[in-house]
Chain A
Amino acid sequence: MNQHVVMENLYFERDNHIIFSNLNLKIARNKVTAIMGPSGSGKTTLLKLIGAQLYPKRGKILFNGKNIHHLSRKELNNARCQMGLLFQEAALFTHLNVFENVAFPLRENSELLDFMIRDLVLMHLETVGLRGTALLKPSQLSSGMARRVALARTIALDPSLIMYDEPFTGQDPITMAVLMRLIQHLNRVLGLTTVIVSHDVQETLSIADYVYIIFDGKVVGEGRPQKILASENLAVQQFTHGLADGIIPFHYPAEDYRKDLGLADA
């Protein structure tokens, strides 16, 4: 099976607002797939749908060939152990130190002895370059370090799929370069399927094998990075080139501006 995740005719709405309408998307195994789109296009929602934290109204998401939303609680927990989601805000447990944060999934999901957990945690922290922070609390870390600790925690269970939610947002150039190198390293060395949700065009395209651009609840462009950059689709062009004018509106839909200011009759 070459496809790790398959979305078929996905329809999802929230508060009567359609987020996805008949979305079809495939995530190839062992590849880096980027899902891009303007802010508010539902990228994070898509990751939560893959992780079955949200349920679609119609359509299905197959994870390893099984409909993730039809699994029993036990099967779902097992499936979630095979996928990791790196949250945008790291989501570290604030009452635990760095070591315990990384040890958490191991303690909860395995019967490993303490000394084995210790070694594994230190190895994962070494991978992200933060072994020295083991005894620090999350509040003592910078946002970039917190995200790397969260990455160490995410890979602790050796997932086959790892999803990154806006990994580059708000990072300084050094941290961004480190994160990009880490994502590529994990993908190649551990053979992980990687999904990156981002709107940082240059960084994401430089490490992605395949790219989807979503806008207005649909896929408006897909292909290898070079194909995306050469796309003639207006939405894709506007997004990849950062153009202010185009079919992707900057303004949220609203009443007539003149009318709102009371100038309608002027």
Chain B
Amino acid sequence: MLDFVQMLGHNSLKFTRRLGGSFCFLCASLLRWPRWRRSFPLLIEQIYFIGVYSLLIIIISAAFIGMVLALQGHNTLEKFSASSQLGQLLALSVIRELGPVICALLFAGRAGSAIAAEIGLMQTTEQLASMEMMGVDPLWRIISPRFWAGFYVMPLLVLIFDMVAILGGYLISVDWLALDAGTFWSNMQSSVDFYTDVVNSVLKGLAFGFVVTWVSVYQGYYAPPNAEGISHATTRAVVYSSVFVLGLDLILTAVMLGGW
């Protein structure tokens, strides 16, 4: 029993220390006086690597998810003779939940793992140490642009995901299941509110982008300098990001549905 309490205390302290460490790391990365002329090209470069390279997987996944959702939704709604509500079901499911959450999970798998592996490898091969010895702060030069790029890119990816998923659902609903296109769009239009649905979706995207990139850069930066360390850092970046995204989604949804 005493051993269990001791282990619990030890792990709690370890977790708290890591949490504090990651927060200090975040502050150290972000609270830098920006050098706009140099920072802007680095940011654009990272937006390209993180955002544009994630587009394909986001678009393909969104199209399939929208299509499957339309099929499943139609199957259920048909039992209640409510197939005309399919557009509404599709839009609200995608915009409120599936869009931000699945997009964040895909983003963690594609960009988060890449960020952690890249930074981890730079650490292992002493590239970050050599940068430091040239009087260049790696937190400013390497970490900060990746962090901000992830933060800015995620909401845009969420919007793209939402649009493609709805279009995928439209194709199935109208072209395959022969629903009336006018009914599909008008029900959707009447049920989706710009502020409570679309803006909240974007806000979730911002929050998830923040969490995923924070976890990924931290895991990469503090990866033990060996092959196993990079492997663990990459895995942890994806697993921790995914868990944090799902947990944060619950909190954000509760806040948003609570009349915020």
Contacts and interface: CB of A to CB of B under 8 A. Distances in A.
Interface residues of B, number: 15
B130 interface: yes
Task: Name the 10 nearest CB pairs between A and B, nearest first.
Answer: A91-B130, A77-B135, A91-B126, A81-B135, A105-B134, A80-B135, A85-B133, A108-B136, A87-B126, A51-B133
A78 B130 contact: no
Contacts of B134: 80-81, 104-105, 108-109, 153, 157
B208 to A, nearest CB: 27
Interface of B: 38, 121, 125-127, 129-137, 141
Contact of A53 (B38, B121, B129): B129
A83 B133 contact: yes
Interface residues of A, number: 24
Contact of B126 (A83, A89, A105, A153): A89
Given A85-B130, A108-B141, A91 B135 contact: no
Contacts of B136: 77, 104-105, 108-109
Interface string A69-86: 000010001101101110
Binding site secondary structure of chain B: helix
Nearest to A77: B135
Interface string A130-173: 00000000000000000000100100010000000000000000
A91 B125 contact: yes
A94 B130 CA distance: 12
29 contacts: A53-B129, A53-B133, A77-B135, A77-B136, A77-B137, A78-B135, A80-B132, A80-B133, A80-B134, A80-B135, A85-B130, A87-B129, A91-B125, A91-B130, A93-B127, A93-B131, A94-B125, A94-B127, A104-B134, A105-B134, A105-B135, A108-B38, A108-B134, A108-B135, A108-B141, A109-B134, A109-B136, A153-B134, A157-B135
